Amino acid sequence: MFSRSLPKIRGEQLVAESSPTKGVAYTVRKFQFFLIVFLVFSLTTETVAKEEKNNTEERMSLYKKMEAITQIDWTYFAAVDQYERSARRLNKNIPEEKGQIAIYFSPDEWTGPINPNQKDTNPLTISIFGGIGLDGNGDGIADRENDEDVLYTFANHLQKYGPHPDDIRMGLWDYYKRDLIVSIITGNAKIYKHFGTIDLDKNAFPVPLQANYNFKNTWGDRRGWGGLRIHEGTDIFTGYGVPVRATTYGIVETIGWNRYGGWRIGIRDLNNTYHYFAHLNGFEKNLEKGSVVKPGDTIGFVGSSGYGPKGTAGKFPPHLHYGMYRFNGQKEWGFDPYPSLKTWERQERNAKKKG
């Protein structure tokens, strides 16, 4: 009688596949795979870190060089460049810079509005057609994508007004024609002057990790006091008097009372982001508008202030309301801070474990 042997063969295959030798081989391959992934990730991270360091050093060198040429403090060039870099990241209509300097000039601005050649790099014809593009490195070419040419062209605009802070502010206003932009740039310059470097990219969680706190994503929740609206932020619930800390390098843009947020502080960082700390019980001593802060600095204390006239408190449990708002040079809008908070919390916990 004919007998099918397929089930037996399958059984033998199953036995073979589940044998100790096969299991060990699979484990080895799995280990090799994860080892390769780990090594690739480590090398990539190290490479990116080196590139970022090189970029920072190269930009700093360009700012210092322009300071020597114009007698304008390097911090203003760094401040303008950083403002424009952040604005470009948030503006889809402006391409990402190809070099180290992010200051943007449109083809019309650079070559002249009536220049038939929008790729013109001849300083003479650019000038004839009313363009502002200049040769900053002495090669006889005014290239809109050359770092030194771009930075020198902007420096030439500022130099017409003078090297002093009030002169610079006037030159910035005539160029951007918006008070908030001038405020952001001069704030950036003050931050760079205070720390003496442009390598300022660390963050901190807004309350001490050892505090008894909890938070969840409350972005978009309904709020009714003062009219129906959505909740633009994350609430971190903790006790009265718990220190509230700066989450970033920045400058205090607003401080005082708000009928919704109570005692609140607004800090503008180097990425054109406004960080909003509300419902405080009080402020750190000597903190005022224009104060420069760094991640982890105590700026105030958790409370329950707000939802009424000055001094109102106790209408809700003590907590920190934390909000974030981006500005792209044209408009400002709120966005969900919860992902950033989770990232900063994790980074700080990991740093404490390593330290």
Residue 338 per-residue DSSP state: H
Nearest to 165 by CA among 194, 189, 181, 197: 189
Stretch among 6-10, 162-166, 199-203, 232-236 having the lowest mean pLDDT? 6-10
User: Do 112 and 27 meet the contact criterion of CB atoms below 8 Å apart?
Assistant: no
CATH class of 51-105+144-195: mainly alpha
Between CA 76 and CA 185 the distance in angstroms is: 7
pLDDT of 49 higher than 90: no
Count of other CB atoms within 10 angstroms of residue 129: 16
| Residue extent(s) of CATH 2.70.70.10 domains in the chain | 214-354
pLDDT at residue 223, rounded to an integer = 66
pTM: 0.83
- Please determine, for residue 50, whether its predicted confidence score (pLDDT) is greater than 60: no
User: What is the pLDDT, as a whole number, of residue 28?
Assistant: 67
The kind and range of the H/E element at 127 are helix 123-128
Model pLDDT, residue 9: 38
Is the separation of the CB atoms in 127 and 153 below 8 Å?
no
pLDDT at 10: 40
CA gap 62, 153 in Å, rounded: 13
Could you tell me which residue, 13 or 253, shows the higher pLDDT?
Answer: 253
pLDDT at res. 128: 97
**Euclidean distance between CA atoms 253 and 277, whole angstroms:** 12
Q: What is the DSSP string of 102-165?
A: -----HHHHH-TT-S-TT---HHHHHHTT-----SSSSS---TT-HHHHHHHHHHHHHTT-SSH
| SS3 of the chain: helix, strand, coil, percent, to 5 | 40, 20, 40
Measured distance CA(214)–CA(296) in Å, rounded: 19
Q: CA–CA distance from 186 to each of 73, 190, 192 (Å)?
A: 12, 6, 10
pLDDT in tens, 258-297: 998 999 999 999 999 999 999 999 999 999 999 999 999 9
Residue 343: count other Cβ atoms within 10 Å of its Cβ. Answer: 12
**Can you list the pairs that 128-136 forms with residues at least 24 positions away whose Cβ atoms lie under 8 Å?**
132/105, 132/156, 132/157, 133/105
Q: Give yes or no for residue 21 having a pLDDT over 70.
A: no
Whether domain 214-354 has CATH 2.70.70.10 = yes
- Residue 42: the pLDDT is 55
Q: Take residue 173 and report the two structure tokens written for it.
A: 């206003």
From-to residues of CATH 1.10.530 in the chain: 51-105+144-195
Give the span between the Cα atoms of 113 and 108, in whole angstroms: 5
Query: Residue 56: enclosing H or E segment and its boundaries?
Result: helix 20-70
Distance CA 348, CA 320 (A): 19
